[in-house]
A and B are shown apart, each in its own frame.
Chain A
Amino acid sequence: MSGRGRREPRRDLLLRAAAPILLLGLVLLALAVGKYPLSPADIARAVAGRLTGDDAAVPEAVSTVLWRIRLPRVVAGLLVGAALSAAGAAYQGMFRNPLVSPDILGVSAGSGLGALTGIYLHLPMALVQALAFAGGLGAVLLVTALAGRVRRHDPVLVLVLAGVAASAMLGAGMSLLKVLADPYTQLPAMTYWLLGGLVTVTGADAAAAAPGLVAGMAPLVLLRWRMNLLSLPDEEVLALGVNPRRLRSVLILGATLMTASAVSISGIVGWVGLVVPHVARLAVGPDFRRLLPAALLLGAGFLVGADTVARTAASIEIPLGILTALVGGPFFLWLLARSRRAW
């Protein structure tokens, strides 16, 4: 897009048609590969069996692996990737900074603290996930409440700084829990949670996270036009007839709901919320009406792809956060190096 002064409608149409098809292809590929050897014939038979309702001929192991292990994992990957990416796009628009990620207001740190607390207290996994969700949501509510009391010229900057401070404190809490934890049983569990991954995702997990994801998406979709206005200084937004503080609050709440829900089942997966929306913006521009669907598709595809690599590339499971960082980090540097004037 550098140097070009206009958007080409034909190219957009092509992207819009191709993207969902590519994603579907990726999903099918992800379902077809894995540690358990399933031949294409096995898969075909299993799918046919599901569709016709006649599962009898399909071996139980094939059914189990395909429907109970791989499918929930792929679905979770789609949801988490889409959620983190959409939330990232929203935050980047709201904070007028393309280098912002959903972590900025402390949702990841709060989730992490909630989860680590659950692990430390030997709670069952479902409660750990609930605590992660509550922690993430609570952290952001705290930050926005604190920031709201400070009346400064630039409310966005105040939010960001409050988020940084909160993340630091919550991070200290996490470190403390890691020190106090039992090094043989709790510490590995904590470490893996913080590295992020979809290893243990079940259908129930994905179902539990879905309401939060959908509820959080709603304001982003409904307010997709108004989101564009937040790229202007607050006073201009007022002049255009919209209350920027209220708009931001609603959008932050939505994005946070999405992020907290995603993180509660996947742990902390970094870089997806930072790099993917950026790439989406380079492809389709900053207009949120187009950026949102692009970010969703791209995020979903990226995470499913990364997770598929994570579970097939090596003999052990590679934590998802490591993979996304390995891809995201250098990519991010490359983006910076391009030194564009505008994003």
Chain B
Amino acid sequence: MKIWIKGFTGLALVTTVFCSAVYAEEPSGILQKSDKKFIPEIFTYNMTLRTKSADGKVDVVDYNGKKKHENNIMVTLNPVSARGQVNLKNRNVLWSYFPTSDTSVKQSYQAIILGTSVSYGDILAIELSRDYDVQSTAENSSLSNDAAGTNMYYLLALTPKKGVDGYAKIFIWINQANFLPVRREYYALSGLLVKSCEIKSISFNDKGVLSGADELFYEPLKKKETLVTFSNIIVLNDIRDTTFNPKAMKFFSGE
């Protein structure tokens, strides 16, 4: 009897180790692992969008945000003209609240945040594994901007999950050594590159938790780039679900 229990326990252990290994190598597993490593499940943050237009003009927008699982809410702090505007992702639906007109509207994922080159979906739906399936994977890929050529990358091709709005295809390069994303390219169904994103820096605190990140989005169609900076990240155990209720947007707006 004891031998049987030992055997069963051993078999379970081997199976778990084997499954974990397979999971780590599965395409969706790579994306999930990357998202988990990069983005905490529940946290508050500050975010700044610095947009440089083709004519050299620079616009800055500041937000304060809270994120819990797939939900995300951002309150605009600056510029003054947009202060109090709230953007919310509640499951798969995006909302915006405009305090000047006291109205809430559903937003499209692709709707551009005015004056920037990022869409609401780009900054509210930041965990790609929630909205995209991995269509194909390539290992040991290189990146043209990795001059030293010392790093190897997973190159994943993503397509949106059924029923989810999204880019027709996203290519994402993930560092094989640390599973952190390095670059994303966003394509339309026509094959046109509509946007790219280079993750310029990611920093972690002493506990190994994300403390800040810089992502540079570039839109070749508009010749415009936006540097998205996450800072002051505080990881929390929980945020009340009511925070992400569309009805709460007016409250967070400060109205």
Asked whether A and B interact, the reply is no
Which B residues fall within an 8 A CB radius of A?
none
Q: Which residues of A contact B (CB under 8 A)?
A: none
